[in-house]
Amino acid sequence: MTAASFSSLAFTKPPSVQWLLPNLEKMNILDASEDAMQMHASLFMGPSVVDLEVSLLSATVEDAGQFLKELAQRCPGIKRFALRYERAVTLVEEALVTCIKGLEELEEITLPWAFMTKDVMKALEGCREIRKINMWSDTHSEVDNRNFEAKKGAFAKLEKMALFVPMNTALMLLNTDRWADMLKEVEVTTQIETDMSVVPKFFKAIGTSRHNITSLRFDLYDGTSGPFTMSKMRPLLDCEQIQRFFFRHRLPFTSDVEDLQEILESWPNLVELSLCADPKIWDNVESGLPLTSLGLFALHCPDIEEIGLYFANSAPGVHAESHRLEKIKTLHVGSSGCADALSTAMYLVEMCGHGMEIDYGVHKISPYTKSAETHSEWDEAKKYFARLGGMAERTKYRAVGSRRSKPVSYGGLKVL
C-alpha cells in the first residue's frame, strides 16, 4: 500500500473505530520511513497483533526511535518481532531497549547481530517467554558483547538460535558458556564465501559443551578449501541427542560406508540427515555412497523420516534387506547419478515402500535458489517407483484378502 492509500484510510475511518482490522494478528511493514506511512501504520497496530516485521531502512534516526518507543504501547502482545535497520545500533539503542522491555510476551526476535549489545541483552532477559533468537549480519562494525553474563534464571525457555552470519561470527557468538545449557536447535546460514577452516572449530565448540543439542542446520556458501571430510565432522558425534542434522555445501562430503555407520551409531534418534546431496565434484576426489547404504539407516535409525545424500552412480542390484525404512517420507538425492532407473526403483520400493517422495536437482551458488535442472534418469526412476509401488500395494491387498501368508516376489521385488 502507498502512503496515499493510508491517508485515504485515515480520512474515511469512523471516529469511533480505534484500529482498522481489529482482529489482525500478523503485519509486515516493508518501509516505515515515509512520514505518512509511519504515521498511518498505527491504524493497524492494535493489541491483536502478535507477529510484526518492520523495515526502517531509510527512516531518519528520530522517526525510527519514535516508532520503536511507541511500538510496545500499541502492540503489547507481540510474540514474534523482526526489525530490519542498517544504521549503527547506537542511534536507536535506547529506543530499542524501551521497546523490548514493553514486549513481555515476546517469544521470538530477529535483529541485526551487531544490535545484541549488553543493554539489549539485558532487556531480553526480562522477556520470560523468549524461545528463539535470530540474528542476521549487517554492514556495520562488530559489537563485542562476549563479556555479557546473563543473570541466573534468564532465558529459561530459550531453545533455538538462527544465525545468518559468516561462520567466524557464528563461532564467536556461540563459543561462550552463555548458551551452553539452553540451546537445543542451532541454524547457521552464510551468504559470503565460507572459510571452511572455521567449520571444524565450530563443530568442536558445539561438540564439547552443548550435548543437549537436538537439531543442527548449516546452509553454507561456496568455499575453496577442499572437500568436507569426516574428520571435520567427528567432534559433533559427542552430541548424542541429535535428531536433525542438515549440512548443505557445494564441497563434497567425502565419506565411505564405515563413516556413515559411525554417524548413525552415534545418533540413533535421527529423524533427518542431509549431507551435501548436491556437491561440486572436485578433481581426484572420490565421492558418493552406494544406494544400498540406506540399509544402515533401517538398522541404526528406525525413526528416520528424511535423508539427503550424494550417491554413487552405480546400479544397486536387488538386495534382500532384513530391515526396512518404515517411517521414511523424503529421499533427497541432489545431483546423484542414476545408472539404472529400473533396478534403482525396485530397490527403493523394497527398502522404503511406495509412499516416499524422491527429490532431486542441483542447488546453484545461492543457497536459497534451486535450479530447474532435472535428471532424465531420476525422472524414469520415479515413474518406475510409482508403478512398482502401486503394484506392490495392490498385490499386498489381494494377499491379505485371500489370507495368503507367503510373500510374493516379482523379479526380486519382495512384497510382504
pLDDT digit string, tens, across residues 24-44: 899 888 765 555 555 667 778
59 within a domain of the structure (yes/no): no
pLDDT digit string, tens, across residues 331-352: 999 888 888 999 999 999 989 8
C-alpha cell at 184: 537445543
142 within a domain of the structure (yes/no): yes
User: Which residue matches cell numbers 500478523?
Assistant: 26
Q: Is the pLDDT of residue 296 over 50?
A: yes
How large is the average pLDDT for residues 49-53? 95
pLDDT digit string, tens, across residues 2-21: 656 666 766 676 777 777 77
Q: Is the pLDDT of residue 415 over 80?
A: no
How large is the average pLDDT for residues 177-205? 80
User: Which residue matches cell numbers 482482529?
Assistant: 23
The model's pTM: 0.83
Q: Is the pLDDT of residue 371 over 50?
A: no
| Helices and strands counted in the chain (H then E) | 12, 17
Contact 227, 252 (CB under 8 A): yes
> What DSSP letter does each residue of 274-326 carry, written as one string?
EE-SSPPPPTT----B-GGGHHHHHHH-TT--EEE-PBPSS-------SS--T
- Which position has the higher pLDDT, 285 or 362? 362
Residue 411's pLDDT band (cuts 50, 70, 90): very low
- Counting the structural domains of the chain, the total is 1
Contact 277, 252 (CB under 8 A): no
Contact 129, 106 (CB under 8 A): yes
pLDDT digit string, tens, across residues 87-145: 888 889 999 999 999 999 999 999 988 888 889 989 999 999 999 999 988 655 555 55
Q: Is the pLDDT of residue 329 over 90?
A: yes
Residue 376's pLDDT band (cuts 50, 70, 90): confident
Distance CA 71, CA 41 (A): 11
For residue 201, what is the enclosing H or E element? helix 198-209
> For a pLDDT cut of 70, what percent of the chain falls above it?
76
Contact 305, 331 (CB under 8 A): no
Paired with 27 in beta bridges are 52
- Which position has the higher pLDDT, 63 or 384? 384
Rank 278-292, 301-315, 374-388 by mean pLDDT and report only the highest: 301-315
Residue 391's CATH number? 3.80.10
Helix 118-125 to helix 93-101 angle (10° resolution) is 10
Please, is 80 exposed, middle or buried when counting C-beta atoms within 10 Å of its C-beta (0-12, 13-18, 19+)? middle
Distance CA 142, CA 258 (A): 42
Range of the domain at 246: 106-415
Q: Is the pLDDT of residue 229 over 60?
A: yes
Mean pLDDT, the chain, integer: 81
Distance CA 388, CA 286 (A): 32
Q: Is the pLDDT of residue 369 over 60?
A: no
> What DSSP letter does each residue of 140-178 carry, written as one string?
SPP---TT--PPTTTTTT--EEEEES-HHHHHHHHSSST
Antiparallel, parallel or unpaired: β 253-254 and 357-360 = unpaired
Distance CA 269, CA 317 (A): 29
Residue 164 has phi, psi (to 5 degrees) of -105, 70
Distance CA 53, CA 64 (A): 14
Task: Let me know how long the chain is.
Answer: 416
140 within a domain of the structure (yes/no): yes
Q: What does the radius of gyration of the chain's CA atoms come to, in whole angstroms?
A: 26
Distance CA 386, CA 353 (A): 10
C-alpha cell at 123: 532487556
How far is C-alpha 87 from the geometric centre of its chain's CA atoms?
Answer: 27
pLDDT value for 100: 96
122 within a domain of the structure (yes/no): yes
Contact 342, 318 (CB under 8 A): no
pLDDT digit string, tens, across residues 144-175: 554 556 677 788 899 999 999 888 888 887 77
361 within a domain of the structure (yes/no): yes
10 within a domain of the structure (yes/no): no
Residue 309's pLDDT band (cuts 50, 70, 90): very high
- Which position has the higher pLDDT, 10 or 202? 202
> For a pLDDT cut of 90, what percent of the chain falls above it?
37
Nearest partner of 312 among 348, 283, 345, 281, judged by Cα: 281
The Cβ-side half-sphere exposure at 83, using a 13 Å CA radius, reads 27
pLDDT value for 404: 47
For residue 112, what is the enclosing H or E element? strand 108-112
CA distances to 16, 81, 120, 289 from 73, rounded to whole Å, are 20, 14, 18, 57
65 within a domain of the structure (yes/no): no
User: Which residue matches cell numbers 532424465?
Assistant: 376
277 within a domain of the structure (yes/no): yes
Distance CA 138, CA 111 (A): 10
| Lowest mean pLDDT segment, chosen from 71-80, 103-112, 400-409 | 400-409
In 164-185, which positions are buried (b, 16+ CB within 10 angstroms) versus exposed (e)?
Answer: bbbbebbbbbbbeebbeebbeb
